[in-house]
Structure 1
Amino acid sequence: GTVMLAYYFEYTDTFTVNMQGFFCHDSAYRKPYPSPEDSSTVPPVLLYSLTAGVPVLVIIVGETAVFCLQLATRDFENQEKTILTGDCCYINPLVRRTVRFLGIYTFGLFATDIFVNAGQVVTGNLAPHFLALCKPNYTALGCQQYTQFISGEEACTGNPDLIMRARKTFPSKEAALSVYAAMYLTMYITNTIKAKGTRLAKPVLCLGLMCLAFLTGLNRVAEYRNHWSDVIAGFLVGISIAVFLVVCVVNNFKGRQAENEHIHMDNLAQMPMISIPRVESPLEKNHITAFAEVT
């Protein structure tokens, strides 16, 4: 369902884009056209390949390394064993964890795409280079004053496909997808890799991933493809979805055994205290009687 909804947003006109108007000679939309997306410093093909391939590679390598390190103690297997028909039949723990983490990541990637497309369709926010593509006839529109507001699709004389793309900029899809992938991998590396000697390597790798996502947003603004507000909104969408999935869905990448033990301890804490009847021993009774005779 998530994949189909993302497909309808991307490749069909099922959802109509809001036709937002503009003021005559508005300086916010008079930036030069930066050329097609394929000629960008971070083209869509490169961005989508990195957001889809790097997390898959990192999670597979990370889970394999953790599995090999914990195989001797069998802690990994006990945490992730899934009974199918009996005690002897279960899914390999390495496969189970890898599929679960990658599946959640893929779902979040499509969910981020859907949230971004929904925001772009509803707002219809104009790109910084919108007027360069719209090519409005100011004389026919009667733009004698800069404060005159122009609305309607017929105000533009340029390429309709390019104009429609220039109406879908808020939030920035490139910023949202890049920061979602970086945040998901950052939390995975921080919570999963516990090997010695990684105290400095982990923060360097995580900060490097977040820096690449931040530079992607800066590139969108520098090339006049998005406003600052578009990039910031994309960052917020990507970070929110990544944090929600990691914290609430995969429980910070912890195993099943840790979750079950936590639930068991909570149930024990909620159980009422049972009062056990007290039975007096003969020695205690004789001690009390002797004390009373002395007093």
Structure 2
Amino acid sequence: MAAEEKPGVKSSSSILPCFLFVELVIMAGTVLLAYYFEYTDTFPVHIQGFFCYDKTFSKPYPGPEDASKIPPVLIYSLVTVIPTLTILVGELCVFFSRTEGTREKTIVTADCCYFNPLLRRIVRFLGVYAFGLFTTTIFANAGQVVTGNQTPHFLSACRPNYTALGCQSTIQYITERRACTGNPLTVMTARKSFPSKDAALSVYAAIYTVMYVTLVFKTKGTRLTKPTISLTLLCLAMLVGVVRVAEYRNHWADVLAGFFTGGSIAVFLVTCVINNFQQLQSSIAPQRPQRPESMLGMPMVTLPCVESPLEKLSGPQHPTLSSSSTLYNTYVQSF
């Protein structure tokens, strides 16, 4: 009760249990599922067949993922560092630029734990972002495992023995699981093309950050700051997809599917989970004027106000009427 009487402080007995026993459990489960998809063979990849001498999958082998112009390590670093720094800088600027009346209240639970509004907003936005990042990874890996679509360089990595397989024409379809003679790890990676995980992660990070910059930053005196930042982030995300196609690591359909996956998750989390980065401060709605009640306690019907003719006469009169009344008074006084 003492915490509720202080200005800018409100008590809550559910924030700490929900954070410890609900949100952390969900987050841990999401991280473990992403780990099993990425680094273990718990979910086997669907083995698809291929046509003999198929030109769609006969592009040259571009090398391992680390040899790419935009390696996964660089992508993971950018999608982690850029949104984190943007949210930290944005929240610090917003917190110190607001007045005391517009800030969120400090939450106290169990009369011992105080949650600062600045720290609470940073943890909220970064926590939701991290959850979406692992969710995007799960969606992309699940799509790759279920479909098993081959990359454009699949036959170069597979190195099938066409003579042993009896390939006589390009319309012959090979379904044997042991058709490939290349490195098993390279072949397994070449079967994970749809959707593009790198494209999904880059677009997710870009759209989440762009929506944060657009909805939170208040730039006065310039109209080009927020569009420049937003378009730069979106162009970097698009560049990742272009490089993936140019290096024959993904098809255009794989990149577009990755863009759609990452963008949809980012828009859903921003609009439906954290309510467009708005404050959690309930505003008091203006009360409507109450109707007068009768003696029976029922609201009376308010009728429109009609102007009375007597009220018109009580005001300034017409000049013709005033002159006629003056003549009448003069005539009466003459008698």
**Residue 26 of structure 1 pairs with residue 54 of structure 2:** yes
Give me the TM-score of the superposition, normalised by structure 2: 0.76
Bigger relative contact order, structure 1 or 2 (CA pairs below 8 A, ≥6 apart):
1
**Residue 237 of structure 1 pairs with residue 261 of structure 2:** yes
Tell me how far apart the structure 1 counterparts of residues 113 and 160 of structure 2 sit (CA, whole Å): 69
Call closer, same or farther: CA 1:69–1:19 in 2, change over 3 Å: same
Call closer, same or farther: CA 1:148–1:265 in 2, change over 3 Å: farther
Call closer, same or farther: CA 1:89–1:130 in 2, change over 3 Å: closer
Paired position in structure 2 for 1:289: none
> 273, 279, 282: which is aligned to 1:249?
273
> 57, 63, 87: which is aligned to 2:91?
63
Tell me how far apart the structure 2 counterparts of residues 233 and 52 of structure 1 sit (CA, whole Å): 22
Tell me how far apart the structure 1 counterparts of residues 44 and 186 of structure 2 sit (CA, whole Å): 15
> 37, 41, 56: which is aligned to 1:9?
37
> 75, 100, 106: which is aligned to 1:74?
100
Tell me how far apart the structure 2 counterparts of residues 277 and 218 of structure 1 sit (CA, whole Å): 74
**Residue 46 of structure 1 pairs with residue 42 of structure 2:** no
**Residue 138 of structure 1 pairs with residue 170 of structure 2:** no
**Residue 120 of structure 1 pairs with residue 144 of structure 2:** yes
Contact residue 216 and residue 277 of structure 2 kept, 8 A: yes
Alignment gaps of 5+ in structure 1: 281-295
Alignment gaps of 5+ in structure 2: 1-28, 301-335
Deviations 1:124-162 (A, max 9, x none): 000000000111111111111100001122111111000
Question: Which aligned runs of 4 or more in structure 1 are off by greater than 3 angstroms?
Answer: none
Tell me how far apart the structure 1 counterparts of residues 221 and 106 of structure 2 sit (CA, whole Å): 29
Give me the TM-score of the superposition, normalised by structure 1: 0.86
Tell me how far apart the structure 1 counterparts of residues 105 and 55 of structure 2 sit (CA, whole Å): 58
Secondary structure at the residue paired with 1:277? Answer: coil
Structure with the largest fraction of helix: 1
Q: CA deviation at 1:68?
A: 1.2
The amino acid of 2:245's aligned partner reads: V
Deviations 1:189-222 (A, max 9, x none): 0000113134210011001100000010000000
User: What is the number of equivalent residue pairs in this alignment?
Assistant: 268
Secondary structure at the residue paired with 1:153? Answer: coil
Contact residue 219 and residue 225 of structure 2 kept, 8 A: no
Paired position in structure 2 for 1:290: none
Q: CA deviation at 1:278?
A: 5.5
Paired position in structure 1 for 2:21: none
Paired position in structure 2 for 1:35: 63
Counterparts of residues 73-112 of structure 1 (less than 5 Å): 73-77=99-103, 79-85=104-110, 90-112=114-136
What percent of counterpart residues are identical? Answer: 60
Contact residue 8 and residue 14 of structure 1 kept, 8 A: yes
Contact residue 179 and residue 210 of structure 1 kept, 8 A: yes
Tell me how far apart the structure 2 counterparts of residues 207 and 40 of structure 1 sit (CA, whole Å): 24
The two structures, once aligned, show a CA RMSD in angstroms of 2.1
Tell me how far apart the structure 2 counterparts of residues 265 and 100 of structure 1 sit (CA, whole Å): 26
> 153, 165, 170: which is aligned to 2:194?
170
Contact residue 45 and residue 146 of structure 2 kept, 8 A: yes
